[in-house]
Amino acid sequence: MFDLLARVFGREESSKTVAKERLRLVLVHDRTSLSPETLEHLKDDLIRVISEYLEIDDHGFRVDVARQDDSMALVANIPVKWVKRPAP
């Protein structure tokens, strides 16, 4: 996902940032039964759907899965720039 955003917005990510994101995905995978690919697809889908209603900052968008005992929670940090007006 970050590769796509970097190409779209013309920003290159440092290898440190890429490595940090990959490590985060591996840790999430270890804590849940979600593969890193599944988590990336989930993030992409969330961005696509939320973007229909809100203008969001894709670069600050974070999705994590927290697990405690027998429960799991999806935690999303979604910086909202503004609410889009519905089409008439």
| DSSP state at residue 85 | P
Domain that holds residue 9: 2-83
| pLDDT score of 62 more than 70 | yes
Distance CA 79, CA 59 (A): 9
Whether 88 is in a domain gets the answer: no
Whether 14 is in a domain gets the answer: yes
**Token pair of 12, please?**
């290159």
Whether 70 is in a domain gets the answer: yes
Tell me the average pLDDT of the chain. Answer: 76
Whether 34 is in a domain gets the answer: yes
Angle at Cα 48 formed by Cα 46 and Cα 52, nearest 5°?
110
**Token pair of 63, please?**
């999705």
Q: How many domains does the chain have?
A: 1
pLDDT confidence band for 31 (50 / 70 / 90): low
Whether 78 is in a domain gets the answer: yes
* pTM (whole model) above 0.85: no
Whether 55 is in a domain gets the answer: yes
Helix locations, 32-88, DSSP H: 36-50
